[in-house]
Structure 1
């Protein structure tokens, strides 16, 4: 059938009109930090020459560039990518919150993606604890579209031994002097908590070289995914009560979240993969938890983004043989983008994020599903509420398959039964997205992308 232009025009108007509903605000008051230990100040050196493969400014580092340098065209979006060395002396902590080391020398790196011009900067710095589960630093929460659209700065911190050791082997010229183990004395990441906090302090209160150049951050947030969320949980629960705060809010994505109630707000965002029990912590004025139906711990969008970097820097992108077709296409990153915006308002204005319905469980403890196998409850993006495929958070098989979820497109007969007309399908997508915008789970620009995708590849 012909493109439903009237539906698209109506959708665009409705999407835009919902923005104002998300901007209610109230003042927030900071609490005292008492006699907690101050965070030491680290030295920042850089930017390191060699910003992209073949950069002529690289001089003696001409054969190197930042590991997993983004393949996206940041310049077209008014952004730059730069890398810095961060060095200082860190204290060490075990996972129980016992201090096990003091004043240990370290050196690591920061990778920074930020607006090139101050006028484009939102004032928000997202400081990510780089994930090392795969054996190397992974910018799991970088999303080019939403972060550049918001004008935020993103800073990846290499805090753990596994990632730093891989960097040293990948480019001894660029990274050979890095060490986060105190010369091999602290190999279970005891220094990582203080290193991460010192990185945050270098961004929030720069002296000398600033990782953000001419930009000045107004709000500095800590974010981490999966294993990194677990490390941040230890930091928040066990270490932060003993040291002065650096970050003003925390986002724990597809991983654990703190059990302690602290001054700094905590936002946990989970995929369907990560929700394994109906027993959940309650939302409070300092804690919010969202669960996204159909989304995977590591879904399609991340795999597509990372493949060019894996091929360039590791020689090949991994291939997996899973029990079911992998990589849910539910865009979890749309929900995390909305969550970051709420977290900023929570920190700056005292406006807590909206609550969200949890995923539904059966009496036997299994996840409740509809007749087509889609999870019930949770935040239901249009890819689940108006489905053209089975997207779940579950899978099995080798290696990381359990984290990938599934994606199985419906056959033509099923699509014809669900959506007798293409215009009707698009209208349902629009209505769902508008509801999610009003609820606060989706940003208008991402709803517009959903609409373009529906027009491009929905049922015929």
Structure 2
């Protein structure tokens, strides 16, 4: 994509995307500006301090909360509350053998040069969606660093998985996880968010020295897991705490699991998070330590792949991440070993962005359209854009499988990889396809096993078109060769949905929903 098109993006997204491509896609590996000295050893992370609930008033409400501004209403039986959390955190970088605290710490971070980037004060906000009644709570807390890629907080994972969490009675804790998202909050409501503070290099977005997120995530996790009287969930019987994220926040979740789970520990030495669900992320693994771009690992470093840890990980990727011009470095074998429980699911047909993410009301209010931008090549019929592929159903199944892995020891299903001819130089063209044009291999769901459309990823056009998928209907001649009638198609789809549930890649409630929606079609 050309510079003229990139300028259409918000400045934050431009900086992030350019840094990513320069660092790992088009410009070679970033220089290794670290040494092996002073590696961080495991230590007990402090607990974040939490404020009283930040009041909702007629003139001041939380940004991006359900039912506020343009956002969808909070689901029945749920409530949402906002708090501030505070503490001190460090900014890290890779060494040859582990990670270390950035030393010395540039004056651009705090105003004065410091011996190291440790003990940096921060204050950020959390939003908690929870059952109104503690008796309806499942015992499971999910923590999600909100996605800042558009320059402000987006509820990407919540929008896709909300129905699952509400069905289960989970608490879902979202938090602002980047300096530019903190700045956006302060611009949105200067009075409400005046106390927020995120140490970083303020000279431009996208430089290093913005990476306190890993300490903050750990301190928040300990606050929720210990559930002392100062915790926002102290009236609820918290049993387990999980972390999940998609795209940018999926990269944060991957690195939290791969690097910091073994370093930032609970009193007594146990892990803070009980499991991790990184999704829609790539490279090593998209978000480096401090980030963009000098925190990246060189190609071939074993830390590009998930290592051993005492909490399970299910990593889920859409087809988009297999089709980007970035080496596919995260693939590794599945494992059921006690200290290396790992699954990798790849979802053919699914796109990085789809109708569930792009119809977010905040996006619609900002861009005036269901997708951004509207100039993508395949926006007009017969194409369906953005794609209506049901990635969220697979994400729900992965979340449920992760909980069951922790609570019952039941192992999640294995899935093959999307078939790819070149892992070092991947593209849309290197993905192998079936006779309908859909990617082969990976998690097979009814939209592919009982096809009615061909699903495509990485649209042509400016800015975020790279993340948007679309579909084209199969020809009438192909459809009539597959199905004797509309009723026959619906019967085959229902049978495939049942099989997908039995295999463990959809949940029964989602399959019923898909079948109900299909029944309304002619």
**TM-score range with shorter-chain normalisation?**
0.7 to 0.9
Question: In structure 2, what is the equivalent of residue 266 of structure 1?
Answer: 313
Query: d(CA) in 1 for partners of 2:355 and 2:520?
Result: 18
Question: In structure 2, what is the equivalent of residue 11 of structure 1?
Answer: none
What displacement does 1:417 show?
4.1
Taking structure 2 as the reference length, what is the TM-score of the superposition? 0.74
What displacement does 1:412 show?
4.8
What displacement does 1:91 show?
2.6
Query: d(CA) in 2 for partners of 1:208 and 1:214?
Result: 8
The verdict on how the C-alpha distance between 1:41 and 1:182 changes in structure 2, with shifts beyond 3 A counting, is farther
Query: d(CA) in 1 for partners of 2:61 and 2:232?
Result: 17
Which of the residues 443, 457, 460 maps onto 1:379? 443
2:91 counterpart SS class: strand
Deviations 1:148-174 (A, max 9, x none): 011111111212112111111111111
Question: In structure 2, what is the equivalent of residue 68 of structure 1?
Answer: 64
Query: d(CA) in 1 for partners of 2:82 and 2:234?
Result: 11
The verdict on how the C-alpha distance between 1:130 and 1:278 changes in structure 2, with shifts beyond 3 A counting, is closer
1:180 counterpart SS class: coil
Question: In structure 1, what is the equivalent of residue 473 of structure 2?
Answer: 409
Query: d(CA) in 1 for partners of 2:119 and 2:281?
Result: 30
The answer to whether the 8 Å contact 1:84/1:110 transfers is yes
What displacement does 1:396 show?
2.5
Which of the residues 455, 469, 475 maps onto 1:391? 455
Indicate whether 1:124 and 2:140 are aligned: yes
Query: d(CA) in 2 for partners of 1:396 and 1:74?
Result: 35
Q: 5 Å matches for 1:14-413?
A: 36-50=42-56, 58=57, 62-70=58-66, 71-76=71-76, 78-96=77-95, 97-100=99-102, 101-142=117-158, 143-181=161-199, 188-212=209-233, 214-244=235-265, 245-256=271-282, 258-276=305-323, 280-285=331-336, 286-304=341-359, 306=360, 308-312=361-365, 314=366, 316-317=368-369, 318-325=372-379, 326-362=385-421, 366-410=430-474, 412=476
**RMSD between aligned residues:** 2.3
The verdict on how the C-alpha distance between 1:423 and 1:353 changes in structure 2, with shifts beyond 3 A counting, is same
- The count of aligned residue pairs is 410
Deviations 1:130-155 (A, max 9, x none): 11111111121113211101111111
The answer to whether the 8 Å contact 2:225/2:238 transfers is yes
The answer to whether the 8 Å contact 1:359/1:378 transfers is yes
Unaligned runs of 5+ in 1: 1-34, 51-57
The answer to whether the 8 Å contact 1:251/1:269 transfers is yes
Deviations 1:196-249 (A, max 9, x none): 111111111133432225213211001111122222333333333332131111
More helix by share: 1
Question: In structure 1, what is the equivalent of residue 292 of structure 2?
Answer: none
The answer to whether the 8 Å contact 2:319/2:347 transfers is yes
Query: d(CA) in 2 for partners of 1:147 and 1:302?
Result: 17
Query: d(CA) in 2 for partners of 1:150 and 1:415?
Result: 38
Deviations 1:298-342 (A, max 9, x none): 1112222x0x23345x47444331133432211111001010111
The answer to whether the 8 Å contact 1:294/1:328 transfers is no
The verdict on how the C-alpha distance between 1:410 and 1:253 changes in structure 2, with shifts beyond 3 A counting, is same
Question: In structure 2, what is the equivalent of residue 21 of structure 1?
Answer: none
2:155 counterpart SS class: coil
What displacement does 1:95 show?
4.9
Q: Could you tell which deviates more after superposition, 400-409 or 90-99?
A: 90-99
Indicate whether 1:421 and 2:417 are aligned: no
2:186 counterpart SS class: helix
Unaligned runs of 5+ in 2: 1-40, 103-116, 266-270, 286-304, 380-384
